[in-house]
Amino acid sequence: MRQYRAVIFDMDGVIVDSEPLHERAFLEVFAEMGYADNHGMDFPAYYGRSDRALWEDFVAKHHPPYPFEQLVEWKQRKLIELLRRERPIFPDVPRLLAELEPHYALALASGSSHNVISEVLALDGLAPFFKAVVSIQDVGRSKPAPDVFLRAASLLGMTPSDCVVIEDSIVGVQAGRAAGMDVIAITNSVPRERLVEATHVVDDYRQIAALLIPESKGFNSGHCQAALAFESKCKSASA
């Protein structure tokens, strides 16, 4: 396996189990606009893409009487309410970050806005783990374009070949590969047979740890130190 210097994480579907919450937030907005049963949107087709991509298609289909930016902000408010209420960080993510941090520079590259990213990283005090955070707001194009991953690598001072991406969506895998990076895809959102473009496909976070830190054997050693490191990070973040 290639020797990497950095790990770049997607957020939705990788750090946080938010794809169902995105759908619920959209559905709440659709219902309030009168499109509860006739919105016609296929949510899985938008996994890994920005909210704007879905809204552009919705507006083209229905021509709702609202400014585009109002729609974007309306749904974002709904999502933030759901995130605060449900706190859906994947349980093994804090341990994985704590194990990886001594070995790699970590970055987050997301199709979400900075407001949503900040809400997610505040849930379990995860922000201190990441040396760089990139939002779709920082770049011109959303996935499958490679822009967010290339920006993250640049902020870390790394070349694409130094980096490996952790993704869960088809367009995210395509974006990572287009950036010239290896991609580890986790089957949180789509089945493994649809993630064939990834360098590796895994079913859980222990397998990511085993790939990137072979001596860890997937959290079986060093997990106590990782847990202590995570606890220390959380205390520092809340101080």
Query: Cα separation of 88 and 69, whole Å?
Result: 26
In the chain the beta strands, taken as DSSP E runs, fall at 6-9, 105-109, 132-134, 163-167, 182-186, 200-202
Whether 131 contacts 105, CB under 8 Å: yes
Based on the residue annotation, tell me whether 168 is a catalytic residue of this protein: no
Catalytic residue of the set 10, 124, 147, 168: 10
Q: Which of 202, 66, 172, 199 is nearest to 109 (CA)?
A: 172
C-alpha separations of 228 from 99, 100, 235 in Å: 10, 13, 11
Options 12, 51, 147, 168, the catalytic residue: 12
Is 162 known to be catalytic?
Answer: no
CA distance 213 to 147: 27
Catalytic positions are: 10, 12
